[in-house]
Structure 1
């Protein structure tokens, strides 16, 4: 009878669990799900990583292409992320053009990377006004079960750390360029932003790392990005208010989690460098 009750009355079903201080998956309200990470998952890409947060799985592949810088930013290259949410990851998504949720998630991910300043776009420029690198970061959600941005940030940052760009000889007079595949360099990732997602249920219960169903019945979601043990950004797209004490608690828990995930990324990179 439990499964039909969950389907027919999801809010009541979850509320009865929350009032007992436990969630249907066995976690307490203030517990995050385990994170699994693998660096260098796609050999044909210039950089890649696989991240799994609970049952949400994201594969990130980065492809580098040479391009011309924008006139207004003539000394900068590009990092263009794109999140794909296909029917493969969840039946809530339909085939066709990118869904609104995918577009919003992509823009939020781009904003997080930009505000964290983890990668200096000038480092991607080879010759001002003439030649620069454009990094296309495709993030394919394989399994969708909440906290999508958390998994995407982890996958993208790790993938960026695995990127190896070939050296390029460029003659501005003739426009000729020679790509030296045998000589490659790493990107200088100066910081590691980590995102943690929370949701507010009935304006009084804060759920850490919510699942998709928990997000769907909550009155709002909250994304907190930590960089170098400091707040980088907070994203709350409307919804129910959150009191100061709950917000401060979420920030402190985000800092603790960011340290753990940074250690996980470091271990994944050590494994990647030895293979």
Structure 2
């Protein structure tokens, strides 16, 4: 592509560093990006489930240069008095200096906190898990699912990678059978009688970046995020629109929004097929 514009690799890199917006504009005018992707094309996505033996469920997701790992730990807890039969889902996203120098050590930054809240809203709005089915004994004991999502390499669009890693890890989660012994009035766990966590829906997020207030492209890299004038994240299941999240920036027309929603549904189908293939591959390995 660089040769088509009549410039050498060295000249292109200098131009990219000195005038990044103009550099991207040259490509986007041809409806292609510097990495060779079309505007509606996502990066190659790879999923690995069951990668943490110490967790009840886990998954590693790689989208281009962005790598995220999710581990789910199930612990017993006392339910809320007003919701005696409801379990808990507690997502937590970690963005440390290990994944990018833009993050600082210490307390979670604003982006990590916003992402953690976003993960919780995704779970609620999609009705992914029926929290009533996390109940062991009403009013006495329920499951709490601690979902720790850690970004290992930040290459842009960490939101979609986090949602995907959480979904894949939930599909891999097993819970031991816990019952109340009426003779001793104590709860007993039977790990050899574990059951797979049942999901009611499978939410997938698709993030779009807006360039020059009008050009839309999906799955932005870190560099593209820095140049964007706005972002939009759409969460869908295979048949339901769950969330539309747009934190400010350039407004979109109804036509642009409809196009993004259509592409989000198409992306959801691709991701769900990928998860199914990954889980089937793991299961065939064990059997």
* Structure 2: distance between partners of 1:83 and 1:8: 34
Measured after TM superposition, the shift of residue 129 of structure 1 is 1.4
2:275 aligned counterpart, secondary structure:
helix
Secondary structure of the residue aligned to 2:176 is strand
Task: Look up the SS of the partner of 1:88 in the other structure.
Answer: coil
Counterpart-to-counterpart distance in 2, 1:272 and 1:72: 40
Deviations 1:125-173 (A, max 9, x none): 1111110111111111111112111111111111111111111122579
**Residues 218-255 of structure 1: CA deviation (Å, up to 9, x unaligned):** 11110011112321111111111111111111111111
**1:266 alignment counterpart:** 276
1:110-189 matches, within 5 Å, as 110-171=120-181, 175-189=185-199
Corresponding position: 1:7 with 2:17: yes
Question: What is residue 108 of structure 1 aligned with on the other side?
Answer: 118
Distance in 2, Cα, partners of 1:239 & 1:139: 27
- Structure 1 residue 20 displacement after superposition: 2.6
Q: Which runs of 5+ in 1 are unaligned?
A: none
The question of 1:21 aligning with 2:20 is answered: no
What's the CA shift for 1:61?
0.6
1:92 maps to which residue?
102
Structure 1 Cα separation of the partners of residues 64 and 240 of structure 2: 25
How many correspondences in the alignment? 275
CA contact (8 A) 1:48 1:158 kept: yes
Secondary structure in structure 2 of the residue aligned to 1:93: coil
Gaps in structure 2 of 5+ consecutive residues: 1-10
User: Structure 2: how far apart are the matches of 1:155 and 1:175?
Assistant: 38
Residues 172 and 77 (structure 1), Cα distance of their counterparts in 2 relative to 1, 3 Å cut: farther
Residue of structure 2 aligned with 1:32, choices 29, 32, 42: 42
TM-score, normalised to structure 2's length? 0.92
Structure showing greater radius of gyration is: 2
TM-score by length of 1: 0.96
SS in 2 for 1:52: strand
Partner SS, residue 132 of structure 2: helix
